[in-house]
């Protein structure tokens, strides 16, 4: 009976992964690229100021990100998730902010977010293969050597 549950969970995980991969590759979903274009191309800023709000929203990923974040908020609220997060102290907030800034900087320097890099690697871009190799080696290194240290130092 337990093996059936594990098999079903594995198949569902695979199906969700295939669906997310297909959607992200088909629609070129990336959350870093629009911000990178906005910051690095001043003429794009001029275009966006001159263009109507509808044109900007049609070309941007951000409306979908805002709607998705709001939907996730409503789902978590409906499930009874504690949105106050009393366990998160000031040290955790600062560490989270520094981690987010570092992650955003590295993603922008690499040319896109990890989701973008995954579908680019699936299309055969060899530079993104090396990025993902380092990405996964970094995850393994953190899990094997740094996780206990971070848990020990966390407030």
Per-residue pLDDT of the chain (155 residues; tens, 9 = 90+): 567 778 888 898 889 888 887 777 777 666 676 666 666 666 666 665 666 555 555 555 566 667 777 888 888 778 777 666 555 555 666 777 777 788 877 777 777 778 778 888 888 888 888 888 888 898 888 888 877 777 776 65
126/132 Cα distance (integer angstroms): 10
- pLDDT (0 to 100) of residue 126: 86
Residue 95 belongs to some domain of the structure? yes
Same-domain check for residues 78 and 94: no
Residue ranges making up the domain that contains 57: 34-82
Look up residue 23 and give its two tokens: 């959607």
- pLDDT (0 to 100) of residue 108: 74
Q: Write down the pTM of the prediction.
A: 0.50
Same-domain check for residues 40 and 76: yes
Q: How many domains does the chain have?
A: 2
Residue 1 belongs to some domain of the structure? no
Helices and strands (H, E) in the chain, number of each type: 9, 0
Same-domain check for residues 102 and 76: no
> Could you tell me if 73 and 66 are in contact, meaning their C-beta atoms sit under 8 angstroms apart?
no
- pLDDT (0 to 100) of residue 146: 78
- pLDDT (0 to 100) of residue 101: 80
> Last residue of a domain, which of 25, 60, 82?
82
Residue 143 belongs to some domain of the structure? yes
Residue 114 belongs to some domain of the structure? yes
Long-range contacts of 117-126 (CB under 8 A, 24+ apart): 118/21, 118/24, 119/21, 119/24, 119/25, 119/28, 122/21, 122/25, 123/25
> Last residue of a domain, which of 66, 82, 98?
82
């Amino acid at each position: 009976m337990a093996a059936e549950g594990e098999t079903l969970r594995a198949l569902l995980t695979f199906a969700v992964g295939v669906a997310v991969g297909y959607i992200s590759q088909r629609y070129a979903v990336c959350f870093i690229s629009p911000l990178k274009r906005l910051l690095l191309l001043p003429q794009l800023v001029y275009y966006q100021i001159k263009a109507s709000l509808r044109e900007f929203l049609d070309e941007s990923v951000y409306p979908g990100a805002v709607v998705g974040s709001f939907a996730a908020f409503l789902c978590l609220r409906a499930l009874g998730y504690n949105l106050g997060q009393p366990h998160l102290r000031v040290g955790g907030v600062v560490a989270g902010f520094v981690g987010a800034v570092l992650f955003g900087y590295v993603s922008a320097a690499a040319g896109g977010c990890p989701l973008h890099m995954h579908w680019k690697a699936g299309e055969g871009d060899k530079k993104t293969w090396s990025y993902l190799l380092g990405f996964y080696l970094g995850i393994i290194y953190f899990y094997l050597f740094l996780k206990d240290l971070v848990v020990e130092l966390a407030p």
